[in-house]
Structure 1
Amino acid sequence: MSMVLVPYTVDQDESGGWHARADLGPYGVAYGEGSTRQEAITDLQAGVALVFEDEGAAPRWLPRADVLAIPEVA
């Protein structure tokens, strides 16, 4: 499976909410919010996917990688 690597940041605000942000260059910025860090990242993933869908593709300058999806072992 080939994937686009999107750098992002995640911060927690004073009230405990989580905020994720990805700078997509000429495509703008995507944001995600949630009550947990993972919820904010999941929300950001959905936002980035919408931006790429609206633009027709991911920006060429973002790095690509071939990855294997391996289930996490508890």
Structure 2
Amino acid sequence: MFYVAITRARHKNYLLYDTLNPSKFLTELMQAPTIGNPGFQKCPECQGILVKRKGHHNEFYGCSNYPQCNGTRPLLT
């Protein structure tokens, strides 16, 4: 049910947890690399996660917090 809950969000997820006793699911999530972005880069604007996106002319890395953040980096090939 945890997986279903976090994958159904349209823009963001907010996870509240006890810092003295975090669940094993949250611990795994915080340590997992980002799917589709093995380099796991942070956004230069807001420190969010950069994910691979397709633009009109090329592919690039864009912030996972879009549309609140417009941070991008070029795709290194």
Q: TM-score range by the shorter chain?
A: under 0.3
Larger RCO (CA under 8 A, 6+ residues apart): 1
More strand by share: 1
Give the alignment's TM-score, normalised by structure 1. 0.24
Q: Point out the structure with max Rg over C-alpha.
A: 2
